[in-house]
Structure formats: C-alpha cells, structure tokens
Amino acid sequence: MINGTDYVKYIKNKSIPFYSHSNNKKDDSITFHSASYNKSNWNSIITDDWHYMMHNSNDLPDQGWKIHISANLEDAQEVLIKVSELLITTKVSFKFIPDFLTLELSYSKNADRIEAGKFITIYPKNNTEFCELLDPLKRITDQFKEGAYILNDRPWKQSNVYYRYGGFRAMTAIKDGRTIYVIRTPDGDFIEDKRVPYFSKPDFVNEPIYIQENNTYPNPETFAKLDSLNIKEALHFSNAGGVYVGKYKGHDVVIKEGRPFIGIDQKQCDGFTRIKAEYKTLMKLKYVAVVVDPIGYEKIWKHNYLIEEKIPGETLG
C-alpha cells in the first residue's frame, strides 16, 4: 500500500516504462547536491527520501536539538549550497531532500503537514554547537526567499531556520498496536517523540538559556484578528491550511485558511494564492443564487482566510 504522494512520485519516475512522461516539468529531474567535500571524511548515503551527509568524526547522540532549514522551491539548490558550505566547514552532519520532485511533493496539499518544510535537517553534536549554528544559518538563509513555515518546529528569530528536540536515530516502540517514535528520559524510560502540528518538547527538556534570552517572536497583536472569526471546530486539515466552522459578524460561516509557500498544486500555486483567487472569483459571482456567498476576507499573520456562508448539504465524499 502506498500513499498518494508516493504514487505521484512513482508515475513520474522516468525509469518506469508504463506511463507517458510528456507532461513532466523540467524541474522534476533536478537532483540536489551539496557543496564540495572531501569524500574521505564524509559518508554520503542516498535513499528515496533523503541524502545523508555524515562526517566520519561525528559520534552523535541518540537525541537532541535538531535544526531544520526551510526553503522556497525556487532557490532550494542555492540555499543547500550555502548552508552545506558552512556545515562541511564546521564538520556538522546533516541530511537533505535529494531531488526537486521529492521536495515539491513534500510541499503539496496532501503531503504530511507535520514533516513539510524540512528541506535540510542538521544534527548538532551538543547544545553548544546547536546554539552556535543558529545565527550563522540565519544570516545565510536571510539572503533568500521565505520558505514554508514548519508547523512542529520553533523558528529562530522568525527566519527560515527552525529547531525542535527529538531523536537523531530512529528509535521505535509499539503502542496500542502501532509503531511510534520514542526518545529516552533521564531515568532511562522511553516516551513518545511526538510528531504533532505544533511546537512541543518533552517535559524533561528546557530550551538552552541562549535561546530563551535571544529568540524573538511575533507581536501577540498580530493574531488578535483570529478572535473575530470565533472558530468553533475544524472540518479538515491539509498542507494548504485548515477549514473551520465559526461565526463572523453575526453569520454562521465556513472559514478556509491559506498558507503561503506550501500546499502547492501542479502549477506550484500555494494555498495562500488559491484562497485569494477563490475569494475574488466568489465576489464576481456573489449575485448568482446557486453560488455560496463570500462573507469576508482577512489576512492574519502569514495566512489568509476566506469566510463563506455556511450552507447545508452533502459532501462529494
């Protein structure tokens, strides 16, 4: 059994003879590569999903603070070159998504929204190295376009540099009949390494003092408009954003969220752009009786929200 993302990746594989590739974009065949390195000092391992670059001198812990780099699709290769130059120079192990097609699919609407945006994963050996890498990585990525926001990480100074605490190696356990990722507590017990769509850290872990004293966050007033939507429940989630039920200016409404640089379609149009276009189209059709009425449109923080009347009916599903 394969999921939809794996299926698309399969049918776009030019070595498979069963499908026509006449509609493939040129970008689909791009393989990403790091900056140059001494092959005697690095282990380069390529799988379907990742290209690992592990320095021979690294004796990495089983878990710790990981750094993720998000990148816009347009300049991902350039970001990789600049970031890997720093990591190769400082002998820090890392991995990256190996080709454009895999990155594009990970940014698509129906891909795993918890993992989306993690173009490069960096493995600092300890907390000191973790903290020392953050600002240099920010200076590098600030030269490029904004990438997709990583939902389960915390951004460093609102940049394309993100971090979370988790496993470096795949440690798993069986819980309620399913396989879960785990990390070890100071007592030697194992707890779930939670993969959730928001920043979460284990109770036994604190952010380093350097992080606590130097990280920056959006002004809370940036999110104040969310209160006006009176969101009651979520109907659906995808990489492109959520669909919610709420109340807006006295109306029972359905609220469609659009996220920028993520939830892309075949034309590399993101969720943010599609929601904006849908609002403009509905405004043109607002006097057509059979078309749902647009009630409003709000841009809040990085996202936009199309607010529509809530009507009874059956879903196509």
**What single DSSP character describes residue 3?**
-
Would 4-168+205-214 and 220-309 be classified into the same CATH topology? no
**Distance set, CA 258 to CA 141, 148, 237, 238, 299 (Å):** 24, 12, 11, 10, 9
- Are residues 197 and 239 in contact, defined by beta-carbon separation less than 8 angstroms? no
Residue showing tokens 């449109």 = 297
Letter for the amino acid at 83? V
Distance CA 170, CA 55 (A): 18
User: If one looks up domain 220-309 in CATH, what number appears?
Assistant: 3.30.200.20
Nearest Cα residue to 306 out of 288, 290, 292: 292
| Structure tokens belonging to residue 28 | 């689909």
Strand partners, 249: none
Q: Compute the C-alpha angle 47/8/48, nearest 5°.
A: 0
Strands (DSSP E) along the chain, which ranges? 42-46, 51-55, 63-69, 93-96, 120-123, 154-155, 161-167, 172-175, 178-184, 190-192, 233-238, 241-248, 251-258, 294-300, 303-309
The helix/strand/coil state of 136 is helix
pLDDT of residue 21: 47
pLDDT tens column, 267-277: 899 999 999 99
Q: Is the pTM of this model over 0.85?
A: yes
Q: Which residues of the chain have pLDDT under 50?
A: 1, 11, 18-22
CB 151 within 8 A of CB 241: no
Taking the domains of the chain in order of start, what are their residue ranges? 4-168+205-214, 220-309
The model's pLDDT over 162-199, given as tens digits with 9 standing for 90+, comes to 999 999 988 999 988 899 999 999 999 999 999 899 99
Beta bridge partners of 178: 175
Three-state SS for 246? strand
108: Cβ contacts below 8 Å, ≥ 6 apart: 5, 8, 239, 263, 264, 265
Tell me which fold the domain 4-168+205-214 belongs to. Phosphothreonine lyase fold (3.30.2430)
Please check whether residue 257 is in contact with residue 238, taking contact to mean a CB–CB distance below 8 angstroms: no
